[in-house]
Structure 1
Amino acid sequence: MSETAKGVLAMVGACVVWGLSPLFYKLLADVPPPEVLAHRTLWSIVFFGMVLAAQGRLREIKIALGNRRQLLIILIASVLISINWFTFILSVQIGKATESSLGYYIFPLIAVVIGAVWFGEKLSRVQWFAVGAAAFAVASLTWGLGVAPWISLIVSISFALYGVIKKGMALGPVVSVTCEILVLLPIWVLVLVWYHVQGQGHFATGWTTSLLLVLSGPLTAIPLIMFSYAARRVALGTVGLLQYVNPTLQFICAVAVFGEPFGWWHKMAFTVIWIALALFSLSSLRQDREARRASKASSGVSTQVRKETSEESANP
C-alpha cells in the first residue's frame, strides 16, 4: 500500500471517530459537561504523555513551554479548543447535536473569511458566493427558529480561530496539543476536586461510567495522531474534502439515532450550506490543480534555463 493510500485511510479513520463521537458522549449524559471535559483533559494528557515518553520526546514539552511568546499562543489555543470541546459535549447532552454538526460544516467557510481578513488570502468569486450562501443559511435559520444557532456559531468560530492561532505555532501536532492540554490542566483538576468534595463526582461511582471517562482521553488523542499522520501524506484538497465525513456522521447521529428535530428551516439551511460547500470545494480543488500546474511549469522552465546555462558554460 502506498503512503498516500495509508494517509487517506488514516484521515478517514480520524473523521469516522470524530463523526461517531456523539454516540460516545451520549453515554455520559448523566455526567455534567464540565466534569466530562475535565476528565477528557486529564486522560488525554496521560495518553499523550505516554506517546511522547515512548518516542523520547518529553523534553520538547519543556522547551515549548519555556518560550514566553509561544506559551501565550499555546494558552490562547488552549482556551479556544476547550470552548470548542465543551460546546460540542454540551450540544450532545442537551439534544443540539444537529447544531454542532452544522457548525463543523460552516467552519471551513468561516476559516477562509478569517484567512482573507487576517492573512490577505484571495478568494475567488465562487468562494465568496459560497461564504455568502452560508451566511444566508444561518440568517434564515435564525429567522425561522426565532433564535440564533449559537452552538453552531460557537463551534465554528472557536475552531476557525483555533486554526488561525495554530498557524503561528512552530510545533508538531502531538507536542502542540499536549502543551495546550497541559497549560489548563490545573483548572480542570480543580474542577474534578470540587465535584468530588461536593459529593457529585461520577468517577469511581460505577465501573461503566469510570471506564467511559478514562476512554475519553484516547478518543481525543488517537484521531488527532491519525490526522497528523494523514496530513503529511495526503494533498491538502483531499484532506479538506475528507473532513466533511465528520459533520456528516454527526448529522446522521443527531437526526437518525438521537431523533432530534429537523424541521423545514433546518432542511433549507443544511441544503444551502451543502450546495455552498460543494461549490467551495470544487473551486478550491481547481485552484489547487492550477497552482500545481504552475509550479510544475515554473520548475520545468528553471530546469531548462539551468541546462542551457550549463551548456553555454561548457561551450564558450
Structure 2
Amino acid sequence: MNARAGTAPKNVGADEVRRGTIAALTAYMLWGFLPILFRLLDQAGSVLIVAERSIWSLVFLAFVLFAMRGFRDVVDLLADWRRMRVVALSSLLLIGNWLLFVWAVETGQLLEISFGYFINPLVNVAIGMILLGERQNRLQSLAIGIATIAILVQAAGLGNIPFVALGLALTFGFYGFIRKTVQAGPATGLFAETLVAAPLALGYVIYDLSANGLGVHSDPGLLFVLMLTGPATAVPLLCFAYGVRRLRLTTIGMFQYLAPSIQFLVAILLFGEHLNSTRLFSFALIWVSLMVFSYDSFRRHRARLV
C-alpha cells in the first residue's frame, strides 16, 4: 500500500483513468476489509494462516502468470542471483509483516493495525531521509513531527509502545524500499517471494497436520476461506499495479488512506474494539499530520506542472 510505487504515464485517456480509478479503489477497499477474512480463521492460528496464505498465493499467481504468459519473466528473475538475494530479503520482510498483521487481528488489535498503516507514508519519508539522504522541507518535517507526537500519545493510550503499529509500518516501509530495487512486475515479484517462502510454509503445514491432524482442514468452509487467502492477497496487488500505471501519484496518495480508514471503522463497529479519548486524540494527530503531508505533496505536484 505504498503510493510511491510509480507515476502514471502522460496522455492517459479518460477511459483508462476511469478504469485505473476503479482498480485502485478496489485494491484499497479489499485491503481495508481483509482483517474480516482473517478473523474468520481465528481457530487456525496466525502461523498456519500465513503458511497457507503463502502457498495459496503461490498457486493463484501461477495461474495468473500462466494466463498472462509471464513465466519467462519469472525464469529470468530466478536465474539472476543478485536479484534473488534481494527477493529473499523482501520475502522475509513480507512474511514478517503478514505474521504481525494476522496475529494482531487474532488478538483484537485492529486499531493498532489501522494506526500503523496511517503512519506508513511518513515512515517511507523517514526511510528516504535516513537511507537515501533525502532532505525534507518544512511541511514534511512538520508532518513527521506531528506523527511522532501521535505515536507517543498512542503509547500513552495503550500503556506501552505501539509495537504492532510500528512493526507493520516499518516492515512494510522497508519491504517497499527493498522491493523497488528488484525491478520485477507485481505478479512476478510476489510469485518469487512466495516461492522463496514456500518450503518453510509447506513444512509448517505438514508439521501442523502431523501434530494436530486435519484440524481446520477438516471443515470445508474453513478450508475454502484458507484457499481464499491466496486471491485475497494477490488480487488487490494486481488491481493496485493496474491503477498506479494509469493515475497520478497524488491521486494514488490520497487513495492510500482508504484502507486504514476502513480498518479503523471495522475495528470499532464490527470487532467492538475500545477507543479511549487518548487513543482518539492520537488518531486525530495522525490525521492532521497526513493532511499536512498530503497538502505538501499536492502543492509540489502543482508546482512541477507550472
- Aligned pairs, number: 293
Aligned partners of 1:78 and 1:246: how far apart in 2? Answer: 22
Corresponding residue number in structure 2 for 1:287: 300
2:41 to 24, 28, 35: 28
Please, what TM-score do these two structures have when normalized by structure 2? 0.93
Distance 1:130 1:201, change over 3 A: farther
1:247 to 257, 260, 266: 260
Unaligned runs of 5+ in 2: 1-13
Matches within 5 A, 1:128-143: 128-143=141-156
Greater displacement, 11-20 / 161-170: 161-170
Question: Is the aligned partner of 1:43 residue 2:43?
Answer: no
Aligned partners of 2:15 and 2:47: how far apart in 1? Answer: 42
Greater displacement, 114-123 / 1-10: 114-123
Aligned partners of 1:229 and 1:159: how far apart in 2? Answer: 20
Larger radius of gyration: 1
Q: CA deviation at 1:213?
A: 0.3
Superimposed CA distance per residue, residues 30-82 of structure 1 (whole angstroms, 9 cap, x where no aligned partner):
11100000111111000100010112221221210211110111011101111
Superimposed CA distance per residue, residues 205-244 of structure 1 (whole angstroms, 9 cap, x where no aligned partner):
1111000000110111111110000010001111111011
Question: Is the aligned partner of 1:260 residue 2:267?
Answer: no
Aligned partners of 1:183 and 1:102: how far apart in 2? Answer: 30
Corresponding residue number in structure 2 for 1:189: 202
Corresponding residue number in structure 2 for 1:8: 21
Superimposed CA distance per residue, residues 121-172 of structure 1 (whole angstroms, 9 cap, x where no aligned partner):
3322111111111111111221343211110010000000011102211111
Please, what TM-score do these two structures have when normalized by structure 1? 0.90
Question: Is the aligned partner of 1:178 residue 2:191?
Answer: yes
Aligned partners of 1:181 and 1:289: how far apart in 2? Answer: 39
One-letter amino acid of the structure 2 residue matched with residue 28 of structure 1:
L
Superimposed CA distance per residue, residues 219-271 of structure 1 (whole angstroms, 9 cap, x where no aligned partner):
11111110000010001111111011000001101111101011111111000
Q: Which has the higher contact order (CA 8 A, sep 6+)?
A: 2
Unaligned runs of 5+ in 1: 294-316
Aligned Cα root-mean-square deviation (Å): 1.1
Matches within 5 A, 1:80-229: 80-229=93-242
Aligned partners of 2:260 and 2:81: how far apart in 1? Answer: 36
1:69 to 82, 86, 100: 82
Distance 1:112 1:200, change over 3 A: farther
One-letter amino acid of the structure 1 residue matched with residue 72 of structure 2:
R
Q: CA deviation at 1:201?
A: 4.5
Distance 1:144 1:204, change over 3 A: closer
Q: Does the 8 Å CA contact 2:94/2:171 hold for their aligned counterparts?
A: yes
